[in-house]
Amino acid sequence: MTEAPGTPLLDVKDLHVEFATRDGTVRAVNGVSYAVDAGQTLAVLGESGSGKSVTAQAVMGILDIPPGRITGGRILFRGRDLLRASREERRAIRGEQMAMIFQDALSSLNPVHSVGIQLAEMFRVHRGMSRKDGKAKAVELMDRVRIPAARERVNDYPHQFSGGMRQRIMIAMALALEPALIIADEPTTALDVTVQAQVMDLLSELRREYRMGLILITHDLGVVADVADRIAVMYAGRIVEHAPVRDLYRSPAHPYTKGLLESVPRLDRKGKELYAIKGLPPNLLHVPPGCPFHPRCPLARDICVTDPPPLYEGMGEGRSSACHFWKETLGER
Ligand SMILES: Nc1ncnc2c1ncn2[C@@H]1O[C@H](COP(=O)(O)OP(=O)(O)OP(=O)(O)O)[C@@H](O)[C@H]1O
Ligand code: SF4
Ligand SMILES: [Mg+2]
């Protein structure tokens, strides 16, 4: 199945997700829209609790329902609305056409089976292969994700691999059925910096080779500069800025993005103090009125306290910013 020309691979429109909790309703996702094309990488960035994972879980169909509830919006995959699909259809799409990579490979892999068995099982269940052929495919895949001595290691258990190697096995599992879309949720957060870069490069290379769409969720701006095409910045369950990666780095159009960028170390500013955005992200049970960023924003004025900013366009092609004062914010860094 491929999409009609002009139809994005994945098109999330005005998605709303809530959680019923003892203390009240947590509005975790408030009107998020983003799209990814085949062969493209969208980075989703934002502090902890901004709704990055919940949005991804809704797309994958693995949201905790209840307490979670999708209260509005559409999730179009190759033009088909997943929120209207049957449970069986969703399961089939999830297995074959989209896959997810999580931060913690150790808890995502089964500790009592060798990695070879786990990979082979994918081919047995979904492709009707024999155990032996599945195992051969497993070795092939382990080679593809550059696990040294794959043939010798195929019968090893997850705990016998280093963190970086385990993450490669997770990538191999996700790639096994050659899905059209991969969502990687903080895939390198638990790894050392050098290993992070290697895993990220691998993911990026495979995405190109397989022409997959990739959604890369991270709170690390340093990671995305080289691998993403577009960035969506989330705050309090909303997208506050959306832009091609180069434009966003060169001239952010939202004070929150600007703050995030100024808190990343830069070689050309060595020795200068790093900026930190003051305060904390809001409790989603009590989101501030107007612009939810106003208590932390150095540019906030009266209107920001009363009027929620819409997503303004006009700062460049494919760009938008939810800030009343995007024009003042925009500018070379
Ligand atoms: N099962 C749940 N029950 C109640 N609230 C939840 C549940 N899952 C998520 N939430 C809430 O939804 C909000 C968004 O969470 P989400 O996991 O999407 O954040 P995130 O941006 O992925 O953060 P992080 O960077 O920490 O992973 C949070 O306030 C969280 O407490
Ligand atoms: S709308 Fe106001 S408070 Fe919100 S980001 Fe813009 S200037 Fe800051
Ligand atoms: Mg998360």
Q: What residue segments make up the domains of the chain, in order of their start?
A: 229-333
Write down the pLDDT at residue 256.
96
DSSP element (H, E) containing 90 = helix 87-96
- Give the residues surrounding ligand 1 with Cβ less than 6 Å away: 19, 21, 26, 28, 46, 48-54, 64, 67-68, 219, 284
Question: 259: CA distance to ligand 1 center in Å?
Answer: 22
pLDDT, one tens digit per residue, over 157-185 is 999 999 889 989 999 999 999 999 999 99
The larger pLDDT score, comparing residue 189 to residue 134, is at 134
Tell me the two tokens of residue 19. 């959680």
Is the pLDDT reported for residue 264 higher than 80?
no
- Give the residues surrounding ligand 2 with Cβ less than 6 Å away: 254-255, 291, 293-294, 297, 299-300, 304, 309, 323-325
Give which of 168, 161, 160, 195 is closest to 184, Cα–Cα: 168
203 by Cβ neighbours in 10 Å (0-12 / 13-18 / 19+) ranks as buried
* Spatial contact of 85 and 78, defined as CB atoms under 8 Å apart: no
* Spatial contact of 231 and 42, defined as CB atoms under 8 Å apart: yes
Which one of 12, 17, 52 would you pick to mutate in the ligand 1 pocket, going by the greatest count of ligand atoms within 8 A of its CB? 52
User: Model's pTM, two decimal places?
Assistant: 0.93
Write down the pLDDT at residue 30.
96
> How many helices, marked H, and strands, marked E, lie in the chain?
13, 11
Give the strand pairing for 238-244 and 320-321. Answer: antiparallel
Question: 169: CA distance to ligand 3 center in Å?
Answer: 21
DSSP for 177-228 reads T--SEEEEESTTTTS-HHHHHHHHHHHHHHHHHHT-EEEEEES-HHHHTTT-
Which residue lies with its CA nearest to atom 4 of ligand 2? 291
Give which of 127, 52, 139 is closest to 95, Cα–Cα: 127
The larger pLDDT score, comparing residue 74 to residue 167, is at 74
Question: 162: CA distance to ligand 3 center in Å?
Answer: 23
Atom of ligand 2 nearest to the CA of 303: 2
Question: 49: CA distance to ligand 1 center in Å?
Answer: 5
* Inter-CA distances, 44 with 50, 157, 216, Å: 10, 32, 6
Q: How many CB atoms sit inside 10 A of residue 260's CB?
A: 23
Write down the pLDDT at residue 182.
95
Q: Where does the pLDDT of residue 229 fall: very low under 50, low under 70, confident under 90, or very high at 90 and above?
A: very high
Lowest mean pLDDT among 33-37, 271-275, 285-289: 271-275
Q: Where does the pLDDT of residue 193 fall: very low under 50, low under 70, confident under 90, or very high at 90 and above?
A: confident
Sheet of strand 238-244, all strands in order from the earlier edge strand to the far edge: 98-101, 181-185, 213-218, 41-45, 230-235, 238-244, 320-321
